[in-house]
Amino acid sequence: MLYVERGSDGKIVALHKTPVGTTTEQKHLMDEEVLGFLNETGAWGESLAFSDAATVRVIEDLVDLLVKKNVINFTELPEQAQQRIKARQSLRERISANDLLVHDII
């Protein structure tokens, strides 16, 4: 979901991944009004990257589930895929560990 920022005329002026200021209205990426805004502004590259990042996370979760259920063995994946998945998992672990430390301090 995207947070929608509107101008005084009620038209979309910006889209955000997280709430910004008083933005509370949410719309799906495939909403007609959102698609129209992206088409007008030429911001397709950014929306595609946002969608790609979400899809990557879904694939990682799917691989984890298939391995846990013994449907596949992680070692059956191509070596390059194994390396990329391990690198992303390691990065996510470091980010979440740092995030917890910051919140614990505050």
**Residue 15: domain span:** 2-41
Could you report the per-residue pLDDT of 25-37, keeping only the tens digit for each? 999 888 889 888 8
* 8 and 36 belong to one structural domain: yes
93 found inside a domain: yes
69 found inside a domain: yes
* 100 and 61 belong to one structural domain: yes
Confidence of residue 102 (pLDDT cuts 50, 70, 90): very low
Could you report the per-residue pLDDT of 9-24, keeping only the tens digit for each? 999 988 888 888 888 8
Q: Which residues pair with 12 in a beta bridge?
A: 6
For residues 38 and 51, the answer to whether their CB atoms sit within 8 Å is no
Could you report the per-residue pLDDT of 42-58, keeping only the tens digit for each? 666 666 666 777 788 88
* 63 and 100 belong to one structural domain: yes
pTM exceeding the 0.75 threshold for the entire prediction: no
